[in-house]
Every structure is written in structure tokens, then in C-alpha cells.
Structure 1
């Protein structure tokens, strides 16, 4: 990040006056298609799509050098089952049944990749039908499970990735996934975890995306307040079931070809269908641009938990603590974990500034290929300071036991606010 981009970003957030970015907005007429990597900079993406929270599609030129595009695909553009079996046949992978609805998702089972590929081949031979149903390999943590192959190179546009930086530091999990499935597999209507950004690259195959800007999903709620499972279902035309459906704008539709890369903004609900046999690589990520969205989402999640167990508020000892425990079990994170997340990223940025790195140097600690010069670090610290101030002031965070935290949240906030002042002229 250069200084001009940092100043532009800080003015953008100053104009929001503390409101979470990416609120309801009219969809653009079409999604921008970025053709040439040589003429599209990090600053172009940051100012044109990341800050305004708008989707875009990158051409296959951006992923032409990826190992997975060379080795996972046959000369005819189909999945290279032979290579995948040889490299990963014994790896156990999660598989969802697209034909079965379980709440607003699909039930999952686990099986060796060789068993899934055997099913996939039989499914193709059976005219894309199987008595076992329509099975979709989803959320396979390939990067966590194997580092033995050159699968992809992280695009610089997505290199400020706090979510995976944090989980990598704990060495327990990540939000990097591989998806594989035959024609007809699909992902139901949803917004990404923690209101993260995501990016998705088709290694082979084609996808159809249906996008809804933040806020539009409210018009899609049924008469009981629930969001739809499938936005293409004829049931949505029933005004008795979906009384506000007519107030929702038509979805933004994108057809993603092989090699192309889709940027999914924070809080945009979407639904995705595989039009061909498809393999994709997907990452969820959070950074300073959508950190406030994540914090806003976590507050909503806690409110939902508190409402569900409100009848025990006056009788259950440590009711507020139990709400945080339930929230973590349901959402994967609670307020205390969120503070630890902010602390880890903040300490890494403070260390980077203390080293006095030059603007073109690469800081490997932030993840492979992550460009973290001082301007990016200063921007990150400013965003963390603003959100941490809100966290520290939140009544439910004040009820948490932070006695073992080091540094204490108030002390970390003080450090960050001092650095914000000293880096103004950086």
C-alpha cells in the first residue's frame, strides 16, 4: 500500500463516522471484468472494489501460472481424476448431499477422496444421476492437510488476510478451501462466515452466481422471518409465504468460466451452481476494510443468543458467560476470541512498524506473499484501534473475565491510539 491509497482509505472510513461499511446499496448494472494483470494494481482493487465493497471478476490471465490449473485439469478441460487420486486419494474429505436440506444447509459425511472420485465417475456414467444423491465435496482444507504441491499463488489483491494470518499463528485451522463437484452441485443461499470477504477461482468448469447486495436479503424473508434455502425456487413467488419478495431487486448474475476469479464482497448474500464438472479454490478473509462488518455481525450473533436464552437470565449463574460459550459453539468465535484476534494482528503490525521496513519489503510473518509495508501496517492499526474502542466500550465485553489478557484491552487500545497519532505523517 502506498501513502496516497492509505490516505484515501482513511478518509473513506472517516466519512462513515463509525457506521459499518457495505450497507444496502443498489446493485450495479453489471459486474466489472478485470482483463489484464499488468494494468491492474493493488491500489486499483483496493479503491475500486475493496473499499466500496463491490464484486468483480478477474480473467483467467490472473491464474495462468497456478500449478493446480496445470496438473488438476486434463487437456480437454475436465478434472484430472488420475492426478488427484495419485496425490490425494487417501485424504479424507468432507462431502455434502445437495439433495437433502438440513435447516438451510446440507448434511455432510466424510470419505477418502478416492471414494468420492469413484462416485463422481459413476455419476457421470449414469447420466449425472445416482441413487446416492448429488454429492458435493465442500470445505476441504487442502492447504492445511498438504503442502506437497504447488497448488496456487496468493494474488496480491487478497494478501492482507487477517483471518488466515490469525489462524496460522495458532496452527489449528484456516479458511482456505477446495470445492469439487459434478454438474448440478450447488451451494444454498448464504452470506460468508463472519461477514468475511471471499475469493473463488475455478480451476476447471463453470459456475453461475446469484448476488444480492447487503440489505436486499431482508425482502427475501418468509412469513416466519427465515431466509430462503434456494432463491431460484418457485416457492418464492408465493406472496403468502414471501410477502415482501416483490421489494427485492433482481439478483446480480455472474457466469464464471474456467480460470476466472470472483471477488465476493462482505455481507453480500449469494447462491452458486456448478454448470459443469467443477473444481474451485476458495478463501475467506478479513482485513481492515471489513473488520467493522465482522464486529457488527458478532454483536448481532450475541443478541440472537441472548434472546434465545433470555428466560434464564435471572436464574442462571454466569448467564452472560454462558451466552458467550453458546455463541462460540454456534458461530466459531465470541467476544473474547475476537479480542485475541485483534491483539495478534495489532502486535504483528506494531512489530513491523518497529522494524522500520521499507514500503516494498515483504513481511513473511503475515502469510506467504503478504505485502505489508509501513503504510499498510499504519492503516491496519488505525482500523483495529477504531473497532477495539467499540469492543472495550461494549457492556457485554465489560462483563467478560479479561484478567488473564496480556496486555489488558484498555492498554492495547492506548498503545494503538498513540501509534495512530505518530504515524499520521508517515
Structure 2
């Protein structure tokens, strides 16, 4: 096991670093601390070179003679049921989705390749497959140290009753694509190509507002906008080609659209940590305000606030109660590590050092204090915190800080 550490646990999360895209980082030449400061806190995109993935089992086993190893993939996963999108069928602001077995999907893919990718056929893209969750004992890939501080997957892996995670496999033929979007919970994402090439258009926060229609809705396909198609400088974005073996880091809150330039297989994670937890919290608050506005005419109904939280969970994937559970789960693990010296193991490989644990607790404390203030302002504090559990956790965190001085 290896320690990951932050040299200065009081590091500020306010960064004035330029958001220029870094097209290539040698994973052997940048430290965890440098990546933490220059990319996570700076919220700056980059590509990590292909040596980061060269020893991954999936890169060695799932690919044969420069093509997907269809025979092995069928043997390993053939009976699995997976979500599949038809890139040629729009469903509101997404793509029409269905389910298939891996066997059926791979048969479709082989036939589609053999016919030279006909444009009059369905263009099917296997997305958001929870391969790791479904095969926890299978050695597939190793999470690089830069992405080890992953509260989202730490939480969902630890709360086994939730039966969820944000670790995915994507498999798609040449031409398959994902419409314009920002990632769930305003999370970071990383995506590693184990086969094939992708094109990414990535937009710094705020630039997406230039691409809204008269109703305020975002474009489904940014190439429908002439300014993007013709690379008009009035909208700032990065046009990136990701090669086989490379990992792209997409910062929190950056909208993007992605195309597979070749038959492609990728490993993707969505993740949150102390560097972007405030973005996650702001997104949750804003979504609740949207829900409250939507049903404001029903405000006199009994349990209106509870109904708002139910709608928030349905629309956003998390409500205030679960957000607190998420923060408290991470906080307790950091407290146990600092007080009882209990190692906090990430992805069976990385252990957080003292400064890292302290940094995480400081960020959680800031969010929890604002959480209490916001819940009281919205008159939902007693609904969310029936036993003052948030205040008790804040006191517990403060005691840990005092003991660590």
C-alpha cells in the first residue's frame, strides 16, 4: 500500500490559476501534491499520457491484434444486461435508451463493423455499465493515485445498501457519441481509453450559457451551433483528441460533448472530493430552489417541504438528508483515521496521510456550517436534522482539530 499526502493541509481551495488546457502530462514526472494543486484545486483539464494505463489487465486482455477481443468479452460478460443508447434517436435532451445482454450487443457491434458502419442502422452505444460493481473480484484496472481521493465511490462502495457506484465502462463503435452535458452532481470525471480514440469539446464554466435557446435550455448537439462548427472565438472551448491509453481529466462543472472517432472502449469515473465538494453543494442547493419554484403553488399543502425533498431526490439523484449522510460517512472515516489510526484504504491501494485527512475534514466543516445555515433559512432544519446530528458532528470535528494541533 502507498501513502498519498498533501504537504500543506491548510492549502486554499481558491485558485487563480489559468484554465489553459494541458495537452500532455507525464505521470512519471508529476507528484500527487502537484496534481492536487495544479489540476484538482485549479479545476483545470488535462490529459495524462498512455503509460498510466499500460499495465491495466483490461488493456492487455480485452484487446487482441488491435481490435476488441470479442471472444473473451463474451466469455467474461456475455450474460450481463447493460444499458445501451441509440445515438440516432433523441429522447428529450438525451438519447433513447434500452437494455441488452453483452452477447447481443457484441453481436450487433461485430455485424455493424462488418457492414462498414451503415448510416441507416441504429448507432448503439453501451454506456454507464457498472462492470466493476458487478464483478468486484475481477482485476480490470488500477485507479491512478491522482484520482484516489474519491468520496463519491468511497461512499457508495461503503454504503452497500445503496447498491450503486459511479464507476463505468463505455463501449461504442466508430461514430457513437454523447450529447452536450455536465456531469452528475457537478462532479469531476476521468476517462481512460483502453482502445480507440475520442474527440472532446470541453467548455469552461459559464461558456455553456452562450449555447442556450430562447427557453434557456442547452443545446443537444453543440455542432448545431454555427459558432462551434466554425470555431468562432466568441465561445471559448477546447477541441481535444484523446488517444488510446490516455486519460482525460474533466474538471467539475465543465460542460462537454464526446465522439468516438474509432471503435472505443473506455473506463470512466465520476468523483467528488474536498476540492470540489462546494460545487456539489451549490448544485444541490440550486436544484432544490428549482424544485421549490416548480411546485410553489402547492406550498400550503401538508408536508410540502418533505415533498420537495422527494422531488429533489428523484430529479437530482440526492436530497439534503442523503447529502448529510454522504458527508458524515466521509467525516467519520477521516476522524477514525486521525484519532484511532485506522488506515483509510482507497481502491485497495492508496492510504490517506494525516494532512490529507485534515484537509478533508476542514472542507467538510465548511460545507456543514453552510448546510445548517441554509436548512434553517429554508425552515427545513428540523426535517433534515431531527436530533441535531449535524451540530454534533461539527463539534466532533472541532475536537479532532484541537487534538491534532
Counting only pairs closer than 5 Å after superposition, residues 167-182 of structure 1 correspond to structure 2 as 167-171=156-160, 172-182=163-173
Structure 1: gaps (5+ residues): 239-244
Indicate which of 294, 318, 322 corresponds to 2:307. Answer: 322
Indicate which of 377, 398, 417 corresponds to 2:357. Answer: 377
Indicate which of 48, 54, 57 corresponds to 2:44. Answer: 54
What's the CA shift string for 1:66-110, capped at 9, x where partnerless? Answer: 00000011122x211111011001111100011111121112111
- When the two chains are superposed, the root-mean-square deviation of aligned CA atoms in Å is 2.2
The reply on whether 1:211 has 2:202 as its aligned counterpart is yes
Indicate which of 367, 378, 396 corresponds to 2:378. Answer: 396
Indicate which of 101, 110, 113 corresponds to 2:90. Answer: 101
Residue 25 of structure 2 aligns with which residue?
Answer: 34
The reply on whether 1:352 has 2:337 as its aligned counterpart is yes
What's the CA shift string for 1:366-388, capped at 9, x where partnerless? Answer: 44223211111111000000000
Residue 241 of structure 1 aligns with which residue?
Answer: none
Compute the TM-score of the two structures, normalised by the length of structure 2: 0.93
Residue 279 of structure 2 aligns with which residue?
Answer: 293
Distance in 2, matches of 1:130 and 1:232, equals 18
Secondary structure (helix, strand or coil) at the match of 2:310 reads: helix
Counting only pairs closer than 5 Å after superposition, residues 78-227 of structure 1 correspond to structure 2 as 78-129=67-118, 131-171=120-160, 172-227=163-218
Secondary structure (helix, strand or coil) at the match of 1:39 reads: coil
What's the CA shift string for 1:185-230, capped at 9, x where partnerless? Answer: 0010000000111100001000000000011111111111110011
Structure 2: gaps (5+ residues): none
Secondary structure (helix, strand or coil) at the match of 2:155 reads: helix
Instruction: Give the direction of change, closer, same or farther, for the CA distance of 1:247–1:304 in structure 2 (3 Å limit).
Output: farther
Distance in 2, matches of 1:52 and 1:128, equals 41
What's the CA shift string for 1:147-173, capped at 9, x where partnerless? Answer: 343110111110011001111111111
Moved over 4 A (4+): 234-238, 245-248
Number of equivalent positions: 397
Contact 1:216–1:248, Cα closer than 8 Å, also in 2: no
Instruction: Give the direction of change, closer, same or farther, for the CA distance of 1:338–1:134 in structure 2 (3 Å limit).
Output: same
What's the CA shift string for 1:311-333, capped at 9, x where partnerless? Answer: 1112x111111111001011110
Contact 2:227–2:235, Cα closer than 8 Å, also in 1: no
Cα shift at 1:127: 1.7
What's the CA shift string for 1:99-129, capped at 9, x where partnerless? Answer: 1111211121111100001111111122202
Which structure features the higher share of strand residues? 2
The reply on whether 1:73 has 2:58 as its aligned counterpart is no
Cα shift at 1:234: 4.5
What's the CA shift string for 1:269-292, capped at 9, x where partnerless? Answer: 000000000000000011000000
Distance in 1, matches of 2:249 and 2:208, equals 19
Compute the TM-score of the two structures, normalised by the length of structure 1: 0.88
The reply on whether 1:313 has 2:299 as its aligned counterpart is yes
Contact 2:133–2:165, Cα closer than 8 Å, also in 1: yes
Secondary structure (helix, strand or coil) at the match of 1:97 reads: strand
Instruction: Give the direction of change, closer, same or farther, for the CA distance of 1:207–1:147 in structure 2 (3 Å limit).
Output: same
Distance in 1, matches of 2:272 and 2:196, equals 27
Instruction: Give the direction of change, closer, same or farther, for the CA distance of 1:26–1:101 in structure 2 (3 Å limit).
Output: farther
